[in-house]
A and B are shown apart, each in its own frame.
Chain A
Amino acid sequence: KAGVTQTPRYLIKTRGQQVTLSCSPISGHRSVSWYQQTPGQGLQFLFEYFSETQRNKGNFPGRFSGRQFSNSRSEMNVSTLELGDSALYLCASSPGGLHTTQYFGPGTRLLVL
């Protein structure tokens, strides 16, 4: 099976702009989670989607949003970008049910200037 894929891999934006990141989970996986990774804060949970419903949300401002489509693909959006949003954004998928292992994508590196 193909692994989790994320597009784009690299992105440069300026403050105030918005950005949309995409994640395609492993085929058959219904859960998709998003994490932000920075040198200072490490890996922080953003949100999780399961069957198109947001099941959990981390402590991030409302500028961070996401959604999941019927084919389990997910997007996250960050509006009104700030310099501090520069990070590696990781997506992870999981089959669901008792199988709780998460399989991570390569990440999208976002730089906000």
Chain B
Amino acid sequence: AQRVTQPEKLLSVFKGAPVELKCNYSYSGSPELFWYVQYSRQRLQLLLRHISRESIKGFTADLNKGETSFHLKKPFAQEEDSAMYYCALRDSGGSNYKLTFGKGTLLTVNP
């Protein structure tokens, strides 16, 4: 069975401070990891995926297979980063697009 754990329900930082949202996963197969974000009153949207190895809005995430983690990082948080963040996993070896989500972390960036 696949499982995604986001240990922090709430995370509060000040503007300009570094931020790290933790994500750990449990899966025996070959996972594809994603971070999705939901801003206030907006729909859930993709922030980044590990296979793209890109930086979006200053956020990066590296897949660490040894530690089974996919933490999301940003060196300098902005107020507009305040949102709900979900880590999600998909079986990259399968033909289906089922996503297993973590429970989410609510990030608040204070001025």
A residues sitting closer than 8 Å to B (CB atoms) are 3-4, 31, 33, 35, 42-45, 48, 50, 55-56, 58, 90, 92, 94, 100-107
- B94 contact set on A, CB distance < 8 A: 56
Q: Are B45 and A45 in contact, CB atoms less than 8 angstroms apart?
A: no
Q: Mark B53-68, 1 if CB is under 8 A from A, else 0.
A: 0000000000000000
Please give the distance in Å from A12's CB to the nearest CB on chain B.
21
A contacts with B: majority SS: strand
Q: Are B99 and A102 in contact, CB atoms less than 8 angstroms apart?
A: yes
Of all chain B residues, which has the CB nearest A93?
B97
Q: Are A94 and B44 in contact, CB atoms less than 8 angstroms apart?
A: no
User: Quick one: which of B43, B49, B96, B101 contacts A48, CB cutoff 8 A?
Assistant: B96
Among residues 66 to 100 in chain B, which have CB atoms less than 8 Å away from a CB atom of chain A? 86, 90, 94-100
- A102 contact set on B, CB distance < 8 A: 46, 97, 99
Q: Are B96 and A50 in contact, CB atoms less than 8 angstroms apart?
A: yes
Q: Are B97 and A43 in contact, CB atoms less than 8 angstroms apart?
A: no
B residues sitting closer than 8 Å to A (CB atoms) are 32, 34, 36, 43-46, 49, 86, 90, 94-104
User: Quick one: which of B43, B49, B90 contacts A106, CB cutoff 8 A?
Assistant: B43
Q: Are A90 and B97 in contact, CB atoms less than 8 angstroms apart?
A: no
A18 to B99, CA, bound (A): 26
A45 to B100, CA, bound (A): 7
Please give the distance in Å from A28's CB to the nearest CB on chain B.
15
Q: Are A31 and B101 in contact, CB atoms less than 8 angstroms apart?
A: no
Q: Are B43 and A31 in contact, CB atoms less than 8 angstroms apart?
A: no
Q: Are B43 and A105 in contact, CB atoms less than 8 angstroms apart?
A: yes
A69 to B78, CA, bound (A): 43
Please give the distance in Å from A31's CB to the nearest CB on chain B.
5
5 interchain residue pairs of minimum CB distance: A43-B101, A56-B96, A104-B44, A55-B96, A42-B103
What are 8 of the A-B contact pairs (CB < 8 Å)? Answer: A33-B97, A33-B98, A48-B96, A55-B95, A56-B97, A92-B44, A104-B36, A107-B43
Q: Are B98 and A43 in contact, CB atoms less than 8 angstroms apart?
A: no
Q: Are B32 and A100 in contact, CB atoms less than 8 angstroms apart?
A: yes
